[in-house]
Amino acid sequence: MEEQKECSSRNIPLPVQREVRQRCGFGCVICGMPLYEYEHMEEWAKVKRHVADEITLLCDQHHREKTGGLLPKDAVREANDNPFNLRDEVSKPYNLHFSGREACVEIGGNSFTCEDQGYGTVMVPISIDGTPLVGIILADGHFLLNLVVFDEFNIPILHIKNNQLFYSTQTWDIQMVGTNLIIREAHRKILIEIDFQPPNKIVINRGRFLRNGVEVLVRPSNILVTNNSTIVSKCHAHGCYGGLVIGHHEHPIGGFMTLGNIRRYLGDRKAALKYEREWLEINI
């Protein structure tokens, strides 16, 4: 490890923060909570340097307990050596506080809204091969968000099941700041950015939904299906069961856009990106 000079700023440099997040499994090392603070295991006043190995993640409760003396330093060190979220390679579920009789999902400037019809209303803005990637259930004032993000190997890395959020700790980076969740595949490469707006709205302005060789790119102004250069922009669907329905569905669902036969594993998406660029020049 490189010896660091005494540092006068209390602000931890961003690359050090990321290293700490990765090492701690993107959650409090004691309980796995995805909302946390960066904590110097030795008092900052003593060490005055930011070395990733000396910093850990603690949620608000465990941070207070440590500061107040109820949580011994050794217990924090022990948890730091064996972080909660790395034990099962999956984070502890975090409960999102959604509720209400109306739902709004905005994806790439398109909006999907619905109201609870009294018997449990389902809305699926994006579905690929029978897997709802984004879905909402409204039932008796309950707003249940369901969302799954796959990586290129078809492995789910983020799950929200009926408002319970959990994620794979094998990902390059996951960060929740305020209402905003960002998953990165690599440096500067965002896989998805979701803004939770409780009680009943979520907004996705940047993202890459992948499933079985289908790629759906989300930009602030549009959605682009790269497999066949389909652009969806400025659409609004209300009370529509399905939104963008792609691929094979054993139980066909009606959507405002259905793309049944679609070429898979399109390695070269230059044509789609070129088409999108031209489209953006004309439309934005």
Binding interface with Zn ion (CB under 5 A):
28, 30-31, 33, 59, 62
**CA pair distance 31, 227, nearest whole angstrom:** 41
Which CB atom, from 59 or from 204, has the smaller least distance to Zn ion?
A: 59
Which CB atom, from 31 or from 253, has the smaller least distance to Zn ion?
A: 31
Which CB atom, from 83 or from 242, has the smaller least distance to Zn ion?
A: 83
Which CB atom, from 73 or from 248, has the smaller least distance to Zn ion?
A: 73
CB of 31 to Zn ion, least distance (A): 3
Which CB atom, from 50 or from 62, has the smaller least distance to Zn ion?
A: 62
CB of 196 to Zn ion, least distance (A): 20
CB of 93 to Zn ion, least distance (A): 14
SS (H, E, C) the chain: CCCCCCCCCCCCCHHHHHHHHHHHCCCCCCCCCCCCEEEECCCHHHHCCCCHHHEEEECHHHHHHHHHCCCCHHHHHHHHHCCHHHHCCECCCEECCCCCCEEEEEECCEEEEEECCCCCEEEEEEEECCEEEEEEEEECCEEEEEEEEECCCCCEEEEEECCEEEEECCCCEEEEECCEEEEEEECCEEEEEEEEECCCEEEEEEEEEEECCEEEEECCCCEEECCCCEEECCCEEECCCEEEEECCCCCCCCEEEEECCCCCCCCCCHHHHHHHHHHHHHHC
CB of 90 to Zn ion, least distance (A): 16
Which CB atom, from 112 or from 166, has the smaller least distance to Zn ion?
A: 166
CB of 169 to Zn ion, least distance (A): 15
CB of 26 to Zn ion, least distance (A): 13
